[in-house]
Amino acid sequence: MVGTETADDAAVYQISEELAIIQTVDFFTPIADDPYAFGQIAAANALSDVYAMGGAPKIALNIAAFPNCLPVEILGEILRGGADKVKEAGAVLAGGHTIQDEEPKYGLCVTGFVHPQKMWKNVGAQAGDLLLLTKPLGNGILNTAARAELLTEAEQEAVIHTMALLNKYAAEAMSGLTVHACTDITGFGLAGHAMEMARGSNGTLQIHTAELPVFPGAVEYAAMGLVPAGTYRNREYVSDVSVGNIQGTSMEDIIFDPQTSGGLLAALPAEEAYIARQRMREKNITCAVIGQVVANEKEKLIFD
Ligand code: CO
Ligand code: CO
């Protein structure tokens, strides 16, 4: 049902009238000093693609690389972090594979279930839809600042907590509602993933910069030049974008900032978007109405 055509979050294969399976894999090098936190974040990131499709994770397999010069207890902590997130997701961790490598790497291969008629794609947004974003932006910038040992304890805690947070709760808040399009914000940043949604939906996404949720400190660290290299790659990749009066400011860095385990970006009819936001507020989940879908214009993505 879903392959490589629209740069969607996962592959989907229909089994029957009532069941389709979602298949995805994601892994990366350590994003946090604490191995347990790294395991949690890598797992939350991998599981996220199933939530972005409107599905429920069912089976997960570890994929890991680890050097033989480090104590094996560290690998144990990474896997424990991952296992705890898989459990929280309500899925079964059923094994996996570890190879020896110079740098640690960890992630999951995840299989999820979805009803074929209830699947969310990253395309299909319609003019008039409101756009919801369910995690603050700027974690790539904060992680760059963390490597320079500049983060305060509170900033460090906030960014780790948010990256480790499952998109399960945001997805659950939208279940039963009309979700025309949904994706999660990861390596291509808000602008890159929003661009995929706009292109595939044959519409234009108009995003109000002032409404964007941003991690405390991200604007300041970006102004100090603590911007990951991926930000500039994303800026080149995204064409047909108007950044309006944020051009050259830290906010421009933030919209292109590659995210690790970012939030969901979803397009819903206005009334239902507000219902979703209300449900998320009740559960203390970030949920901002960041803009709307308009008819196709010359620019596919307009930041105002
Ligand atoms: Co994704
Ligand atoms: Co992914």
User: Which residues, other chains included, contact 54 with Cβ-Cβ below 8 Å and sequence gap of 6+?
Assistant: 114, 118, 119, 120, 171, 175, 179, 182
pTM: 0.95
Residue 252, token pair as written in the block? 């421009």
Side chain identity, residue 270: A
Spatial distance between the Cα atoms of 30 and 42, rounded to a whole number of angstroms: 8
Ligand approaching nearest to the C-alpha of 110:
2
Ligand 1 centroid distance, CA of 73 (Å): 30
Cβ atoms 98, 64 nearer than 8 A = yes
Question: Ligand 1 (ion): which residues have CB within 5 A?
Answer: 9, 49, 184
How do 264-268 and 130-133 pair as beta strands?
antiparallel
pLDDT of residue 94: 94
From CA 49, how far away is CA 27, in angstroms rounded? 12
In the reported structure, the alpha carbon of residue 101 is separated from the centroid of ligand 2 by a whole-number distance in angstroms of: 22
Helix (H) or strand (E) holding 17: none
Measured in angstroms, how far is the CA atom of residue 26 from the centroid of ligand 1? 9
Strand stretches in 226-283, DSSP E: 241-242, 264-268
CA dihedral 131→160→83→98, nearest 10 degrees, is 100
- Give the Å distances, CA to CA, from 63 to 34, 46, 82, 234, 272: 18, 11, 10, 27, 38
AA identity, residue 30 = P
- % residues pLDDT > 90 (the chain): 92
- Find the range with the poorest average confidence among 5-9, 45-49, 159-163, 233-237: 5-9
Place of tokens 């009334």: 271
Structure tokens, 267:
């397009």
Question: pLDDT-based confidence at 205, cuts 50/70/90?
Answer: very high
Of the pLDDT bands very low, low, confident and very high (cuts 50, 70, 90), residue 162 is: very high
| Confidence label for 298 from pLDDT (cuts 50, 70 and 90) | confident
pLDDT higher than threshold 90 for residue 178: yes
Average pLDDT on 10-27 reads 96
